Structure 1
């Protein structure tokens, strides 16, 4: 049973919007597009592994892309599989080229086109995830259950090497997920937890999830003012939107409807964040009267706080502050 499905993360959606609104001659355009390519490749790798977890029968409780907090720090896990005897955490790597896992310096080397670079240690990463999840479950759910970490290599064309066979014991290709999981479960003699208890735990985890919000402008050192304002077409992505009476339409592909405005509002909240002033939102949408903005806000069912010049628009009511950080 999927408790938290996999969706394109907020920080990737935001980066995608930023790249779309950068002019071709923008000095940081290439860097942003390279980062976007890496982020989407990682997401696609995680998503491709979901096909193999769907073969697990009986099905566990599944949470995709879960991000929880321990004290002042957050930890993120690509996939969590909850069985009655154990929890499996999957760290998915979608890497091309030759991958060498070393015990010395706890290091991973990636070589592509004769260029070698050092990567974060896969094993250190999953050990930290396991430790963080164990402490979180004890504190939030008062439960102790074995946690088994897997490193999943989702790119079938990558070549994997290791200094010793022990370094590959919990490393598996995506296609081996069902066999690896049930192989581990068959060896366990741990206590079985009830389905009701496990479901409550999984739901608690999903409710505690915190989205990562990356300061992309800070990371790449450029200003939001350098982005293109205006509405772009959800169909052809061109900035060619015109309004006639109360109808919005694209002069390039003839797509029309209020979906154009909703698409632009979604981009505005992704890039500008929650709590946008009337003036800021009107400028982002390409300039319009206050009256038109008020009509859009009502039709789009935006949540409004404050009065007159202090008015702020939100796309949803805030239950708590999002954690904003650079990952």
Structure 2
């Protein structure tokens, strides 16, 4: 990545893309710390899984496999205040008094769930219950929304409480 930044010179687009990629990678690494507390015999963890659904590829940050269920985790490393509106499927971030709309992570992880179910069905696997989760890696990030989001969105440091 650093070589790309050096070669890109003053090209802001390259710098911005590299910065976003590195922030995402850092967020996933922070979540890995908590996932390491899950005993190996309870769960098999696949990081950065890329699958082909017959038309295109889809990518899952973490797929946790147990004998009874799967968990899809989409890890986000956002700063500021995050507002999830499940009625309108909207996601808003407020940072430095700037408000911006983004792709709704809950809708995104639910879409990944459907894609994984389709993939498993296409390859004649039994489809277990699949739990989609959005994990916010920054503990300083404020999460807001209607009460229904508590089952789908949490900070990485709260993941083990949900796992137990």
TM-score (norm 2): 0.92
Measure how far apart 1:179 and its partner are. 2.2
User: Which residue among 5, 10, 13 is the counterpart of 1:31?
Assistant: 13
Question: What CA distance in whole angstroms lies between the structure 2 residues aligned with 1:31 and 1:49?
Answer: 27
2:47 paired with 1:103: no
User: Which residue among 18, 27, 42 is the counterpart of 2:4?
Assistant: 18
Structure scoring higher RCO (CA < 8 A, sep ≥ 6) equals: 2
Measure how far apart 1:98 and its partner are. 0.8
Q: How does 1:49-64 map to 2 (within 5 A)?
A: 49-57=31-39, 58-64=41-47
SS of structure 1 residue aligned to 2:88 = helix
2:150 paired with 1:168: yes
Question: What CA distance in whole angstroms lies between the structure 2 residues aligned with 1:159 and 1:134?
Answer: 31
Measure how far apart 1:130 and its partner are. 0.5
Q: Tell me if structure 1 keeps the 8 A contact 2:83–2:92.
A: yes
Measure how far apart 1:21 and its partner are. 1.2
Question: What CA distance in whole angstroms lies between the structure 1 residues aligned with 2:13 and 2:120?
Answer: 39
Structure richer in strand, relative to its length: 2
Question: What CA distance in whole angstroms lies between the structure 2 residues aligned with 1:59 and 1:44?
Answer: 25
Measure how far apart 1:19 and its partner are. 2.0
TM-score (norm 1): 0.48
Question: What CA distance in whole angstroms lies between the structure 2 residues aligned with 1:104 and 1:144?
Answer: 28
Larger Rg: 1
Question: What CA distance in whole angstroms lies between the structure 1 residues aligned with 2:85 and 2:136?
Answer: 16
Question: What CA distance in whole angstroms lies between the structure 2 residues aligned with 1:130 and 1:96?
Answer: 25
Unpaired stretches in structure 2, ≥5 consecutive residues:
none
The alignment's C-alpha RMSD in Å is: 1.5
The aligned length equals 163
Match of 1:188 in 2: none
SS of structure 2 residue aligned to 1:50 = helix
2:145 paired with 1:159: no
Unpaired stretches in structure 1, ≥5 consecutive residues:
1-12, 183-327
